[in-house]
Amino acid sequence: MKPRPMVLVFAKPPRIGRSKTRLARSLGSGVTARRIATMSLARTLRALRAGSWDVRLCLDPGHARLGGLGRLATGLEIHDQGRGDLSARLDKGLAGAPPGPVIFIGTDAPDLSGALIRTAIRTLHTHDAVFGPARDGGFYLFGLNTSARTASPFAPVRWSGPQALNDVRANLPAGTRCALLPTLIDLDLAEDLYDWRQRARRPIRETEAEAAQGQAFRPIP
């Protein structure tokens, strides 16, 4: 029997001063940034409920309450992300995941859909790793076929910069077969929010249609 895929979601509660701090500074409004964080987290949680995978919601901090979003997290395993930088927290998630397909996602890309997650999992049938690139050079999704001996690819990585995806890919073993999902917008800055509002309806329809046809990824040479 094939192992059931595990999706690890790394999230912060949508609170002023806790989440979307770069967006808040860029917008000049913590209240607006909190609303955007709430919207994006809600869309992510809804996407997670539409598939045959296990989900661990890795919160920072683990005891955080999600308020009105709590109903969308009902039935999900809640884990504490742990201490340290993002590399250390991702390492902890990887170490605690069972062998098999493991998908890491954040909550900054509101166009992430259940169809894209399913495509990522299907891609791991023929590839060793899959990335969902963000427009800023990072990624909204990273998937990996793991075993008990899988080494972490999360350090060193220049997070929150244009080299994050390339750094993680460079840390993978030589010969790793990688593929890319469609590029989405991470809502990190005011210009990201503006662009997403202008383009939101069209990308959602396109990416889900591509995923349904099994054409939503391309190999990395």
How does pLDDT run across 54-96, given as a tens digit for each residue? 999 999 888 888 877 888 888 889 999 999 999 999 999 999 9
pLDDT at 201: 57
In a domain, 1, yes or no: no
Query: Which residue has 């170490």 as its token pair?
Result: 95
Collapse the DSSP code of 178 into the 3-class scheme (helix H, G, I; strand E, B; otherwise coil) and give the result. strand
Domain assignment present for 118: yes
Domain of 59: which CATH number? 3.90.550.10
* Residue 166: CB atoms within 10 Å: 16
DSSP string, 108-167: S-TT--HHHHHHHHHHTTT-SEEEEEBTTSSEEEEEEEE-TTPPP--SS--TTSTTHHHH
Would residue 34 count as lying in a domain? yes
- The model's pLDDT over 140-192, given as tens digits with 9 standing for 90+, comes to 999 999 998 899 999 999 998 899 999 999 999 999 999 999 999 999 999 99
Q: Which amino acid is at 23?
A: L
The count of domains in the chain is 1
Per-residue CA distances from 115 to 24, 28, 57, 126 (Å): 30, 34, 19, 18
* Residue 144 belongs to domain spanning: 6-219
E strand or H helix at 170: helix 164-171
- Mean residue pLDDT across the chain: 88
Residue 22 domain-assigned? yes
Residue 129 burial by CB count (10 A; 0-12/13-18/19+): exposed, middle or buried?
Answer: buried
Mapped onto helix, strand or coil, the DSSP state of residue 78 is strand
Q: How far apart (Å, rounded) are the C-alpha atoms in residues 123 and 181? A: 9
